[in-house]
Structure 1
């Protein structure tokens, strides 16, 4: 495929990178004050720019800096959501919400180990069908086709697995 010749009104991606990377870094550094974040956002601009047809840009400078401003706005929104969540979680003393409470982490691990043990107790076909259906979200008909059986047989295996897990987890 012949290479596209660049005219002043239609620069190549490489030309845009050479021309605008320093200006974008300065743009982000002035607003963020953190070199690593400025580099990340500059890189994100060029990642997004790589999928754009530069021939369709009226003004590459306006397009690139509009994209940069939008990235800053998106980052600001995400930070606000995170800040609001943290503030709400801290302010709500009644909830006693500690996402990294060691006892909750240990209880969750123990619960997961119980499920894993119960799954290992199942016959192999039943276990595989259950995992494919519940964890991999495959359709029952696709599972039936893979096992060369009927969908009703898959349903029986799934019901058997659910009953076993409910029994084992109820005992725990």
Structure 2
């Protein structure tokens, strides 16, 4: 029976070979290093290995091979290759040109004009739902109409506002 300390001594002596083994199967040195650390953690959490292990080296390489399989299964499940690190993203753009700012202000002014030109029931439904963040049932109750009617009023007002704001661009 191999004890934990015997297995750890074998691991330490085989660590360079295990790293080469893992590095040849994984995409980066860091991934190989992570798998080596996982292997050491598994050895440390194992109290003893049942049965006579004549080939400790084979046992450690089999464990390393299983860790590689686990790594690929986990990376496929998490679709890790599809993620973009947050530090690569441009979160703000402070380079907004004066023309863009003026265009935005003009669009907002046209939006306010368009809102005032809407029929009263459409304007009320739009303002209650979109501006005051009320739910459709709350708007329906306040305007004393059905939820379907509120939905139609909001859709109609939204279409009219979009046409009014963007048609004059």
- Which band: TM-score by shorter chain? 0.3 to 0.5
TM-score by length of 2: 0.42
